[in-house]
Amino acid sequence: MVETTQSRGAAWRKGVQDGIPIGLGYFAVSFAFGIMAKEAGMTVFQAGLISITNLTSAGQFAAVGLMVSGASYAEMALTQLIINLRYCLMSCALSQKWDPAVPSFHRFLVAHGVTDEIFGVSILKEGHLNPWFNYGLMSAAVPGWVGGTVIGALCGAILPESLTSALGIAIYGMFLAIVIPPAKKERAIAAVVIAAMVCSTVFRLTPVLKGVSSGFQIIIITVLVAGLAAALRPLEKEEGEEA
Amino acid sequence: MRGNIYLYIAVMAGVTYLIRVLPLTLIRKQIDNRFVQSFLYYVPYATLSAMTFPAILTSTTSVAAATLGFIVAVILAWKDKGLVTVAAFACVTVFIAERFL
């Protein structure tokens, strides 16, 4: 199929449309990230730079904690690898939907925009992946993420403490909204969610384990819990498609 | 902060981009290994859950308010409300609770 400029534009516009709720959600969460980054001693530019180059919620929040604690670059790399490993699976799934007729350079651009939400919207589309649809999603989502970060870093200091305190819970609310609905449908996921929370609590309370940096705690718990789940409840053939 | 912040950012951005771009550019076939597939499938749930609890309880000024926010978030997420709704109501709950606690 030969793609016309018009069909590209239509796909892009549809992407922007579907991406607007994503961008709004990102704004709220990255606003909290901006405040956190500023409180950790970063400039507005540095906070914005992190958001535009990383485009990932959990990884960025963990990174600020690592920087403050003076973690090594290796620890930073390993933490990002583990926390963001899910994008690997998402990119694998997206690669299965790639139209061989679409030039390969689009893969490099689409890749930067593989987030939980953009993936969720684009993988559910019928047929082959249209990179212009993904660019539309990114055009709405990226400004939301970066804009929220910059405004959060700028205004964080002038907002009353009661407000910034309340915003601190936003990211965790979002995480719960990501993990709970699938946990309701699949008992194995529910078991993973509960086991990970219990392990994390044990780490936080046990004298020796408490000393392990939070990044490595996450790595250990993830490998342990996801590994056990994969051994005990391996996927049926098709399930991986929707992951 | 002991390290160079721009080096930190370069490391995190580099690792994150490689995770996203390598499978998309290199893998052209379905992954066959069932264990790897299953492991990757469970990873986000384990990671996000471990990051959320118990950290959520100390994410605001008052632990009691955060606990209320946590409960509200769990209930709304259970009812399949979207990410924004769940996050917003958790914040509102904490904001109101901290006025009274």
Q: What is the ipTM of this complex?
A: 0.85
In contact, A84 and A56? CB cutoff 8 Å: yes
Closest CB to A81 among B19, B62, B91: B19
Pick from B59, B89, B51: nearest CA to B72: B89
* A109-138 per-position pLDDT tens digit: 999 999 877 887 787 677 788 999 999 999
Task: Please indicate if any CB of chain A lies within 8 Å of the CB of B23.
Answer: yes
Give the span between the Cα atoms of A97 and A100, in whole angstroms: 9
Where are the domains positioned within chain B?
Answer: 5-100
Structure tokens at A87: 């994008």
Task: Please indicate if any CB of chain B lies within 8 Å of the CB of A216.
Answer: no
Q: How far is B64 from chain A (nearest CA, A)?
A: 12
Helices A73-83 and B5-26 sit at what angle, rounded to 10 degrees?
40
CB < 8 Å to A29, chain B: 87
Amino acid present at A46: Q
What per-residue confidence (pLDDT) applies to B2? 60
Which of A26, A79, A175 has the highest number of chain B CBs within 10 A, making it the mutation to test binding with B? A175
Mark yes or no for CB contact A107/B82 under 8 Å. no
What per-residue confidence (pLDDT) applies to A169? 85
pLDDT over 80 (residue B94): yes
Pick from B14, B11, B35, B18: nearest CA to A85: B18
**DSSP tally for chain A: helices H, then strands E:** 12, 0
Residue A21, strand partner residues: none
Indicate the SS3 state at residue A129.
strand
Cβ neighbour number for residue A114 with a 10 Å cutoff: 28
- Does residue B77 or residue A65 have the better pLDDT? B77
Task: Please indicate if any CB of chain B lies within 8 Å of the CB of A70.
Answer: yes
What per-residue confidence (pLDDT) applies to A238? 53
Give the span between the Cα atoms of A72 and A45, in whole angstroms: 23
Task: Please indicate if any CB of chain B lies within 8 Å of the CB of A110.
Answer: yes
Mark yes or no for CB contact A162/B45 under 8 Å. no
Structure tokens at B67: 């606990």
Structure tokens at A63: 């990174």
DSSP one-letter code for B58:
G
- Determine whether A198 is exposed, middle or buried from the number of CB atoms within 10 Å of its CB (0-12, 13-18, 19+): middle
* A18-40 per-position pLDDT tens digit: 787 778 778 877 888 998 898 88
